[in-house]
């Protein structure tokens, strides 16, 4: 049975840029704020290109073995199990490392021979030297707002990638996303996007993060199902953005302008 294609609302020319990078076997770096559509975009492009997608959520404890693979012990003895990066290299798929700056530095070094014209992956524990299959693509992402001296991407790594910068969509595009993705009616989509704009303008004064498109989709779904709008604003927008009760109250005061 046919299934609906994954919805993605293009903001600029990111689809064509990604296609060019894929055709020329170039790795891609996507940078942008939380919830702006980076992961959805990569999933959309994998579907569009008909490529298997291996997504890895990077974190402090991620090791090279988590990406490449390791020897395991089974009923018949020791055997090798490929990690997601190795599977993508063998199959010619897309390996997507989300928030790559969260990974340990010794882990990201594994990417270097894959992110230049060699396109190889040495497997020291098996003695293999894998050449990436045609169609293999390495994609990484991170949020520049979270970077610091300890968790930044080294220039020697960053300059191996074609880079795309994502921002939150324009008001018109964000309304279209809420209508399509959350089933919101146009009036509700308009009010939510207007509220998001007001909350985002508070970032420099009160918030470390702003209301993401992802959170707006959650809010639109819950409001469209009949939940009280102010309750939705609290649980989908105010509380996820801050732990400070006074700031939550200030955000709710803004929400009441649009939904009281």
Residue 202 pLDDT > 90, yes or no? no
What pLDDT sits at residue 205?
60
What residue numbers bound the domain in which 142 lies?
14-165
Same-domain status, 124 and 197: no
pLDDT bin (cut points 50, 70, 90) of residue 201 is confident
What pLDDT sits at residue 104?
83
Same-domain status, 59 and 156: yes
Same-domain status, 134 and 203: no
What pLDDT sits at residue 1?
37
Within-domain flag for 6: no
Same-domain status, 145 and 178: no
Same-domain status, 39 and 155: yes
What pLDDT sits at residue 149?
43
Last residue of a domain, one of 134, 165, 196: 165
Query: Residue 37: which CATH number?
Result: 3.40.50.300
What average pLDDT does range 3-14 have in this prediction? 82
Find the radius of gyration of the CA atoms of the chain. 21
Same-domain status, 48 and 95: yes
Last residue of a domain, one of 105, 133, 165: 165
């Amino acid at each position: 049975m046919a299934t609906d294609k994954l919805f993605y609302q293009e903001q600029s020319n990111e689809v064509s840029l990604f296609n060019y990078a894929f055709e020329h076997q170039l790795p891609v770096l996507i940078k942008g704020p939380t919830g702006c559509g980076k992961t959805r975009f990569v999933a959309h492009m994998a579907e569009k290109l008909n490529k298997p997608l291996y997504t890895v959520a990077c974190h402090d404890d991620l090791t090279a073995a988590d990406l490449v693979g390791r020897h395991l012990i089974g009923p018949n003895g020791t055997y090798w199990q490929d990690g997601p990066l190795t599977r993508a290299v063998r199959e010619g798929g897309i390996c997507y490392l989300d928030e790559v700056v969260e990974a340990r530095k010794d882990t990201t070094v594994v990417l270097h021979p894959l992110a230049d014209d060699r396109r190889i992956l040495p497997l020291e524990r098996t003695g293999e030297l894998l050449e990436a299959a045609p169609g293999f693509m390495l994609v990484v992402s991170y949020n520049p707002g979270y970077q610091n001296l300890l968790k930044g991407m080294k220039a020697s790594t960053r300059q191996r990638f074609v880079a795309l910068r994502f921002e939150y969509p324009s008001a018109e595009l964000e309304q279209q996303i809420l209508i399509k993705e959350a089933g919101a009616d146009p009036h509700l989509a308009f009010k939510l996007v207007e509220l998001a704009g007001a909350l985002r303008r508070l970032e420099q004064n009160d918030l470390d993060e702003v209301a993401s498109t992802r959170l707006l989709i959650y809010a639109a779904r819950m409001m469209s199902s009949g939940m009280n709008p102010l309750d939705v604003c609290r649980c989908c927008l105010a509380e996820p953005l801050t732990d400070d009760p006074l700031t939550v109250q200030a955000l709710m005061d803004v929400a009441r302008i649009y939904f009281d």
